[in-house]
Chain A
Amino acid sequence: DQQVKQNSPSLSVQEGRISILNCDYTNSMFDYFLWYKKYPAEGPTFLISISSIKDKNEDGRFTVFLNKSAKHLSLHIVPSQPGDSAVYFCAATAYGQNFVFGPGTRLSVLP
């Protein structure tokens, strides 16, 4: 049973528009959430994170929102750029030891 779910395997958006990637989790013990970006033939790279005591964290074009009551988080990318095309993984951890990843969402930003 997946503890971290990303129900959209893929997403396509136009350049300049907003990309919204969603993630749901089931384990209420998770207290820290992260988003990773992965290009083909490379390792995942850290993008942005949020602690469970916050509901929003922003870093440039990237914003992560956390809704603890719904066990849901989302990553907003505004404006989307062709270089953002990649697979995005949502991850969660309890106490920072084990990191559980979702299956990923492939984002395609169309010029």
Chain B
Amino acid sequence: DAGITQSPRHKVTETGTPVTLRCHQTENHRYMYWYRQDPGHGLRLIHYSYGVKDTDKGEVSDGYSVSRSKTEDFLLTLESATSSQTSVYFCAISAFSGNPGELFFGEGSRLTVL
């Protein structure tokens, strides 16, 4: 199993509060991703990173920010959580190095915004 740890695994918070989800990898993979999973939408990319301090937006990036100060850590921050951000969030990593590779996913973080 790929060494990916997400924390927290479950969180309940209130509207307007900041939330940070952490993804930690031990594989030294270059690419890291944050997806959210919602019924009927599958997995949608929020942000991704292709190296330390190098990040880019995905298709549903509004309301989210990310940071990657170390290869092994990729943080997803909701500056002011809203009920529409209630979802299951998955971190993924990829060893892309010129050839398409597969994504390895963490176990997910379930966030409920009341």
Known: A46-B102, A49-B102. A99 touches B42 (CB 8 A): no
In the bound complex, do residue B45 and residue A98 qualify as a contact, i.e. CB atoms below 8 Å apart?
yes
Given A42-B108, A45-B105, A100-B45, the answer on whether A93 and B100 have CB atoms closer than 8 Å is yes
Q: What is the interface size of chain B, counting residues whose CB is below 8 A from a CB of the partner?
A: 28
Report chain B residues within 8 Å CB of A4: 42
**B78 interface contact, C-beta 8 A:** no
Complex Cα gap A102–B106 (Å): 19
- A98-B45, A98-B48 known; A43 vs B90 contact (CB < 8 Å): yes
Whether B35 contacts A97 by the Cβ 8 Å rule is no
Q: Which residue on B lies nearest to A44, using beta carbons?
A: B105
Chain A 79-111 interface mask (CB, 8 Å, partner B; 1/0): 000000000010101011111111110000000
> Would you call A63 an interface residue if the criterion is a C-beta within 8 Å of the partner chain's C-beta atoms?
no
Contact of B100 among A32, A41, A45, A89 (CB under 8 A): A32
Separation in Å of the B37 CB from the closest CB of chain A? Answer: 8
For B89-114 the 0/1 string (1 means CB < 8 A from A) is: 01010101011111111111000000
Q: How far, in whole Å, are A96 and B92 apart by their CA atoms in the complex?
A: 13
Q: Which residue of A lies closest to B95 (CB)?
A: A96
Assess whether B45 is in contact with A89, with CB atoms less than 8 Å apart: no
A15 is an interface residue with CB less than 8 A from chain B: no
Q: How far is the CA of A46 from the CA of B50 in the complex (A)?
A: 21
In the assembly, what is the distance between CA of A101 and CA of B92, in Å? Answer: 13
Interface membership of B8, Cβ < 8 A: no
A34-B102, A46-B102, A104-B42 given; A97·B107 CB < 8 A: no
Known contacts A9-B40, A96-B98, A96-B100, then 16 further A-B pairs from the complex at CB < 8 Å, ordered by chain A residue: A4-B42, A6-B42, A42-B107, A42-B108, A43-B106, A43-B107, A44-B90, A46-B102, A95-B100, A96-B94, A96-B96, A97-B50, A98-B45, A100-B45, A101-B43, A103-B40
Where the two chains meet, the residues of A that have a C-beta atom closer than 8 Å to any C-beta of B are: 4, 6, 9, 31-32, 34, 36, 41-46, 49, 51, 89, 91, 93, 95-104
B residues contacting A by CB (< 8 A) are 4, 31, 33, 35, 40-45, 48, 50, 58, 90, 92, 94, 96, 98-108
